[in-house]
Structure 1
Amino acid sequence: MLIKIIDHIDIQEAYKYLNNDGAGAVNVFLGTVRDNSKGKKVRQLAFEAYEPMALKEMQKVAEAAAERWPLLAIAIIHVTGTKKPGEAVVLTGVSSAHRDASFEACRFLIDELKRTVPIWKKEFYEDESVWVNAHP
């Protein structure tokens, strides 16, 4: 499993890790910073994490996916630090023999990550900044 909290996502590294000869499907979700939220222009986002706990929770999410689907490889990568619109901030990816497992598992990874992993996001607008609850 490729589980990381870093300052920059290397999509090619993740794909190289996920792809293998037994894979009939490689599915990658890449979350990026958008330039608007709640009707306001977003200048940047800042992400913070308590890394030991976040990595442990990311590992649990990956293990749960591995138990539910026949996956060949799993990647979960999240950034910390400040990111501008258009920059990648989170990647979940899987490979499997067949596409159904790949699509379902990749969706599960991002949904569970957002639900359980202690990573916090602050949105910076032109006139203010606010912490966004990452765990609704």
Structure 2
Amino acid sequence: MSLTVPEELVTKAQQGVMTDDEFLSCVKNSLPYAWSVVERLVKQYESGATSAEDGTVPPDDAAWGQLLRFAASDSMRGAVERKYGVKLAFQNCCKTGLFAPSAAKEYEEFVSPRAQILNQKPELINC
């Protein structure tokens, strides 16, 4: 299970009244390491950057798992994207990018096969 979901949130989801903010609070509480990556990227964005990248290697397997679960979830990424009006992208095991709508060129480069190859690191082969 990727999220620890309070019963109240399950009920709201069943009733169709759950908000993105409630969902994101659940993500933040369930995946604190992944959320810290999001916060670092958003902080750069809110400081005026049109794109931001975080390639911090997670400190342990639990943190790796959190980041991979977040990156693999369209609903989690989508809720963050809607909240901040940005696009998120993920590359390899730990490189996460955030892009403003005006940063289309940077986004396209980040998600390109070329960037994927150039971001390969032997020490991350089994991440």
TM bin (shorter chain): under 0.3
More strand by share: 1
Which of 1 and 2 has higher RCO (CA within 8 Å, sep 6+)? 1
- What TM-score do you get using the length of structure 2 for normalisation? 0.28
More helix by share: 2
